Amino acid sequence: MTIHNPPSPVPETPAQSSGTSGPRSLRRHPETIALHGGSFRFDPVSGAVAVPIYQTTSFQLPGTEGADKLFALEAAGHLYTRVSNPTQDAFEQRLAELESGAAALALASGQAASAFAILNLARAGDNIVSAAGLYGGTWALFAATLKSFGIETRFVDAADPEAFARATDDRTRAYYAESLPNPKLEVFPIAEVAEVGRRFGIPLIVDNTAAPLVIRPLEHGAAIVVYSTTKYIGGHGTSIGGAIVDGGTFPWKDLANRFPTLHEPDPSYHGKTWIEKAAAIDFHPYILRVRAVLLRDIGAAISPQNAFQFIQGLETLPLRLRQHNENAVKVAEFLKNHPKVSRVIFPKFQTGAAGERAEKYLRNGYYGALVGFELRDGREAGRSFIDNLQLLYHVANIGDARSLAIHPSTTTHSQLTAEEQLATGVTPGYVRLSIGLEHWEDIVADIAQALEAA
Ligand code: PLP
């Protein structure tokens, strides 16, 4: 299995700050990394410059001695596509470099990424502290499924970073939050909560699905980033996938009591600890263990075909985000002046602490492409608006090239109680839009006619 997937070395020539990377290194711009990041340059067999889809389950092993080393994780190479594959590897390297991370693991879905990100650290009897503003599926994972595994989630208000400290005890293994949680669309205080985590030796895991490149969690102190690559990274609504990116700087090795999964001997690897295994190959213990234990045992592997789709998606991600953002601003401004709309939820319009965080964390004047609004006439008006749309699709997704709309309280968040819905920011008249790449005038025209009819 290829476990060594650090980004390719810093290029010699454009020794120029990327404008998106922090002080870590002088790096190429994201537009360039999206096309060239990682060690893949061309296929050594055919010379193909596009990453081939290695549609194979298994890989020919070297002689028996080489095979021993591969299975013991002492040598880099692929064994079996459940655990690694060259197409997946190329995607992981490119994504890790784009995120200024050390290494990445691609998975079958965003849900697998968030579940594995936690299960890599927490076991029965442990807890995590999470911001309450979460995607409904993540909420259900934490509040019900992880609970049934004996892992407690303590939900706190993201607006109060010290709430994370108050909810922490000796069995707390991670903090978790979305960088730009919908439906509230208030940017999470990444640096502030990462700082609280440093006091206790707890990593902050940030789901950056709604804001790749726009928010840079690792540069603000997060330890791990997770993605549903299904959204903006894929970009075309064709493929389900997820990823975990390890920033490579969290001091796991110094925190033996806090992280037993990394520090206790693992019987399935001859009684070695993951700290030892990683040190032996000069790699990162967190991301090494997710692959070698959770992906090995639970599966949730990304298919080579989907890994290819996400490589394609990355290539145009910076370009697409620019247009998504421009269109979203136009739509938000239109809604702000509409008499049937009581409130528009969009980072550009936020004031107070939320406005300050939007200013601090959102880059280059981007606000993301999610726009929420509330209809004055509540739930029935929200439903009627959706039913009258002609151009925008009514689907439970975000980050598609097409514009999408949904009424969360009766769909994505319907499994939550009314109280839980309000805690995540879903009111009865709330409509969420994911603004796509159509001409903005056509998007606005469709919204205008659906509002008239609502
Ligand atoms: N995280 C966020 C913020 C999401 O919006 C979603 C899906 O909507 C997920 C995670 C789950 O991703 P997937 O559908 O790829 O499993």
SS3 sequence, 355-390?
HHHHHHHCCCCCCCCEEEEEECCHHHHHHHHHHHCC
pLDDT band per the 50, 70, 90 thresholds, residue 301: very high
> Could you read off the pLDDT of 383-427 as tens digits, one per residue?
999 999 999 999 999 999 999 999 998 898 887 788 878 877 889
Could you tell me if residue 314 is inside a domain?
no
pLDDT band per the 50, 70, 90 thresholds, residue 6: very low
Nearest CA to ligand 1 atom 8: 397
Q: How far is the CA of 234 from the centre of ligand 1 (A)?
A: 12
Mean pLDDT computed over 312-324? 97
Could you tell me if residue 78 is inside a domain?
yes
Q: Which of 20-29, 241-250, 257-266, 398-407 has the lowest mean pLDDT?
A: 20-29
The pLDDT of residue 409 is: 87
- In this structure, the answer to whether residues 271 and 415 fall within a common structural domain is no
Mean pLDDT computed over 254-275? 96
Could you tell me if residue 375 is inside a domain?
yes
Mention every residue, 6+ apart, whose C-beta is less than 8 A from residue 86: 2, 51, 52, 54, 78
Mean pLDDT computed over 304-331? 98
* Residue range of the domain that includes 250: 22-305
Q: Which of 61-70, 146-155, 402-411 has the lowest mean pLDDT?
A: 61-70
Mean pLDDT computed over 214-230? 98
**Ligand 1 pocket check for 137: Cβ under 6 Å:** yes
2 has pLDDT over 80 = no
**CATH number of residue 384's parent domain:** 3.90.1150.10
The pLDDT of residue 26 is: 54
pLDDT band per the 50, 70, 90 thresholds, residue 3: low
Ligand 1 atom nearest to 229, measured from its CA: 15
- In this structure, the answer to whether residues 210 and 356 fall within a common structural domain is no
Token match 């490589």: residue? 311
- In this structure, the answer to whether residues 122 and 180 fall within a common structural domain is yes
The pLDDT of residue 16 is: 29
Ligand 1 pocket test target in 116, 230, 233 with most atoms within 8 Å of CB: 230
Q: How far is the CA of 228 from the centre of ligand 1 (A)?
A: 5
86 has pLDDT over 80 = yes
The pLDDT of residue 19 is: 33
**CATH number of residue 157's parent domain:** 3.40.640.10
Q: Of the residues 246, 276, 305, which one is the last residue of a structural domain?
A: 305
Q: How far is the CA of 215 from the centre of ligand 1 (A)?
A: 17
Q: Is 132 left (phi over 0), alpha (psi -120 to 50) or beta?
A: alpha
> Could you read off the pLDDT of 204-217 as tens digits, one per residue?
999 999 999 999 99
Mean pLDDT computed over 18-42? 75
138 has pLDDT over 80 = yes
The pLDDT of residue 240 is: 98
**Ligand 1 pocket check for 228: Cβ under 6 Å:** yes
- In this structure, the answer to whether residues 36 and 154 fall within a common structural domain is yes
24 has pLDDT over 60 = no
CA distance 12 to 422: 52
Could you tell me if residue 311 is inside a domain?
no
Mean pLDDT computed over 272-285? 97
393-394 sheet: strands from edge to edge: 341-345, 370-375, 430-434, 404-406, 393-394
Q: Of the residues 247, 275, 305, which one is the last residue of a structural domain?
A: 305
Q: Of the residues 274, 305, 336, which one is the last residue of a structural domain?
A: 305
What's the whole-number average pLDDT of the chain? 92
Number of domains in the chain: 2
> Could you read off the pLDDT of 192-207 as tens digits, one per residue?
999 999 999 999 999 9
- In this structure, the answer to whether residues 132 and 255 fall within a common structural domain is yes
> Can you count the helices (H) and strands (E) in the chain?
17, 12
- In this structure, the answer to whether residues 424 and 352 fall within a common structural domain is yes
- In this structure, the answer to whether residues 79 and 217 fall within a common structural domain is yes
Q: Which of 56-65, 217-226, 419-428 has the lowest mean pLDDT?
A: 419-428
What phi and psi, each to the nearest 5 degrees, are found at residue 50?
-80, 145
- In this structure, the answer to whether residues 342 and 369 fall within a common structural domain is yes
Q: Do residues 345 and 158 make contact, with C-beta atoms less than 8 angstroms apart?
A: no
CA distance 374 to 160: 25
CA distance 326 to 348: 12
Residue ranges of the alpha helices (H) in 21-126?
A: 30-36, 64-71, 86-98, 110-119
3-state secondary structure at position 289 = helix
> CA 435, 437, 440, 444 torsion: positive or negative?
negative
**Ligand 1 pocket check for 179: Cβ under 6 Å:** no
**Ligand 1 pocket check for 229: Cβ under 6 Å:** no
